[in-house]
Amino acid sequence: MEYKQPISVLVVIYTAAPSTGLKTGSAVLLLERADFPGHWQSVTGSRDGDETMRETAVREVFEETGLDTNLYELTDWQVQNVYEIYPKWQHRYPPGTTRNTEHVFGLQLPQQAAVKLSPREHLNYQWLPWNIAADKVFSPSNRAAILELPERVCHV
């Protein structure tokens, strides 16, 4: 078994009008985990090989949604979260590895888009208003990133 690196990305995919900030109708894309039904998140994934964090974000967005980041605005938020790896997924990492470092990105789309899910990773997707999406995700760092959207979008 090849272990995952304890270095990952979190990519918040959202819609918003940069000149007016978050408006009614602005939304965040959430994915339901196949290995944790009923639990929702933004795009996440571990780095492969010696990828840059941006390369990891581009790959993970495409693998999990089919979206081409080159068509949209992908921004490195320059935020890192260090957290304890959930016991449920500890076996995926080298023995003795207990913490992961997550790098946060945002991907702004002009409007909601249909996505092509990877069935081994996700069961469903939905677009939700940003404040409702923040309450629906299970990860505290994902929630914090979504709650940053009003400030980030106003300054894009």
Expressed in angstroms, the distance from the first to the final Cα of the chain is 42
- Which residues have C-beta within 8 Å of that of residue 84, sequence separation ≥ 6? 98, 99
Tokens of 31: 């994915």
- The answer regarding whether domain 7-154 maps to CATH 1.10.260.40 reads no
- Residue boundaries of the structural domains of the chain: 7-154
Q: Which H or E run includes 24?
A: none
State pLDDT tens for residues 43-95: 999 999 999 999 999 999 999 999 999 999 999 999 999 999 999 999 999 99
Question: What global pTM score does this model have?
Answer: 0.92
CA 120, 107, 89 angle in degrees (round to 5)? 35
Q: What is the pLDDT of residue 22?
A: 53
Torsions phi, psi for 76 (to 5 deg)? -80, 115
Q: Considering the chain, what percentage of its residues have pLDDT values greater than 90?
A: 88
